[in-house]
Amino acid sequence: MAAPPEDLKAELLELRHKIEHHSTLYYRHDAPEIPDQEYDQLFDRLLEIEKAWPELITPDSPSQRVGSEPLSGFTQITHEIPMLSLDKVTDEEALQKFEKRIHKRFDSDKAIEYSCEPKIDGVAVSLLYENGVLTRAATRGDGTTGEDITHNVRTIADIPLRLKGKQIPKVLEVRGEIYMSKSGFARMNAQAEKAGEKVFANPRNAAAGTIRQLDSRITARRPLTMYCYSYGLVAGGDLPDTLSAVFDRFDDWGLPVNPQRKTCVGVESSYAYCLDLLARRNELDYEIDGVVIKVNHFDLQERLGMNARTPRWAMAYKFPAEEVSTVLKEVEFQVGRTGTITPVARLEPVFVGGVTVSNATLHNMDEIQRLGIKVGDAVIIRRAGDVIPKIVSVIADRRPKDAKPIVPPATCPICDSEIEHIEDEVLMRCTGGLFCSAQRTQSIIHFASRGAMDIDGLGSKLIKQLVDKQILTSVADIYSLQREPLLALERMGEKSVDNLLAAIENSKQVSLPRLLFALGIREVGEATAQSLASHFGTLKAIIDSSEDELVSIPDIGSIVAHHIRAFFDEKHNLDVTAALLKAGVCPAETKPVKADELPFAGQTFVVTGTLESMGRSEAREKLQKLGTKVAGSVSAKTTCVVAGPGAGSKLTKAESLGVKVIDESEFLSLLEQHDK
């Protein structure tokens, strides 16, 4: 087949350049230079050439914005750098405390520069550009794993398929919020209503539903747009030293950044920005639920570091929520996947914050008593954070004569197991962890996981299939799985099934600590499971133990002891445990050893880097058997650090603190000395 003529290639490049130029003027600046008819003629000519010469189609062609054939499902994307959530404040005092914490960490009162921007009520996404071309887009998901939505993001006119300008890194991950404007939402709903189609409740729901369409042609017809708010992975290039300068660089490259952003010095100036934006909230053509305030300089961000899940250098200032009144019709008690029993208010439907609300959280019985609420009461509803409906107060003078008190269930509403009430805790929990259908999927996923029974091939998706088809009703059913039913499942070939059945059979020979951890007893982690196994030696001895005996073990307090006894006092759990043993699960018994008799009792180890002879979880297990506490971070109290190849900051910190460091060969020698 003949190659496309060079003059045709040149025309195609010119067409793409013109279309992107006019799209930017139209969608980002609302300042079109040519009428729609001329724009359509340019686009039609582009499609004509690409249809005749499909080999000329590239990922950054404007034609890729029209959508393609539907996908069968989403694939998972792991974020190389996690997408973080932010701590939230709702008043000036809390914002001042945020800045005081920063000053305290730096031991300085020097003014802090902040980058402030509207907190868009949309969908957080990650865009990956390689050599300036958009190659992947993903949702935030749980912060670590999201869904591949590249097919949909390519259709959004506001997002460049190729960056323009200079100094673009070879790899650049851009993060932002995809949203639907108020005006676009209104137009879309008006068209849908006219056509007799479904209308959306609010712009955020519309954006979330649109970005997760399997058919990108639907996405292409809906008015989505985006503002960038940060970046993640960067390689083969550098970015400026401040977030405000990064926004300017993004703008130069053609990435959409919020024109309402502002750099403020000090928290008082930032708070004034918040109040100004709140006053203009209804004037904006997009929904916002607050302001994001970030330390502007990246070197200061790095010095401030992280809390467990949120950065210390950023804060979300949340705007006041909208409130309305309605009537509490009933209270239902729902069982969560971890056994927590939560009261849920069923309400007379009411419109608040752009959505119709018929349910609201009541959190727990303490909250019900604090509110003094009864079924039939008139109540005030708030959409806390503009998302979660919450009852905030009772309108006492509107209480009907037949109002009924709210009574908690005596047993689990799902499985009739005993309900656990812990002193000084407000939550109620079902004790039927291995039996309760509300907890079934989660308990089986945990049971099969790597740190527990380590059944390779029995992942969460397959478990959900098996539970949905009622093939698995408890963890014991894993050991009665048959070949033919497994072969009938989606994506399960003969080799996969054979490997799975072999892994299940292999898992029957298990250490006692792993089995204990796999049972999912509340607050019994790997270290506690090891302590129990070392102290008692057998599963039967643990089942028969008293609460006083359990409390006598170091690191097991009265609350954990209560959880262990509550678990084994529940007949359903004992039945499932007995079924596991009957199926051939055989936890290795050991001679009981008191904690203070173990060779490494009272010591703390940290394992970092990659070990060639074993995984980190196996190394941790071996150390715990010797009585050590295995920590995730290095401190002055650390006894020793085991450092394999690739050890990074933990090794550096250990050396700076003078903590003993050993390599893998020394570690193996240490284990061999104490191998019994």
- CA-wise closest residue to 611 among 654, 670, 537: 670
* Residue from 119, 374, 625, 629 carrying the catalytic annotation: 119
Side chain identity, residue 18:
K
State how beta strands 378-384 and 388-394 pair: antiparallel
Cα separation, 579 vs 480, in Å, equals 10
The dihedral over CA atoms of 460, 465, 466, 469, expressed in degrees to the nearest 10, equals: 160
User: Tokens in use for 528?
Assistant: 């506690």
Task: Tell me the angle at which helices 460-468 and 440-448 cross, rounded to the nearest 10 degrees.
Answer: 140
Q: Name the residue among 201, 146, 209, 206 with its Cα closest to residue 173.
A: 146
Residue carrying structure tokens 């804060």: 315
State the DSSP H helix or E strand holding residue 69, giving kind and residue range, or none if neither: none
Any alpha helices (H) in 261-297, and if so which ranges?
A: 267-279
Q: Cα(570)–Cα(434) distance, rounded to whole angstroms?
A: 10
d(CA 167, CA 608): 36
- 420 near 408, Cβ under 8 Å? no
291 in Cβ contact with 116 (< 8 Å) = yes
Structure tokens at 154: 């390519």
Q: Decide if 252 contacts 160 (C-beta within 8 A).
A: no
Four-residue CA torsion sign, 614, 618, 624, 625 = negative
Residue 637 appears among annotated catalytic residues: no
Q: Return d(Cα 522, Cα 348) in angstroms, integer.
A: 37
Catalytic residues: 119
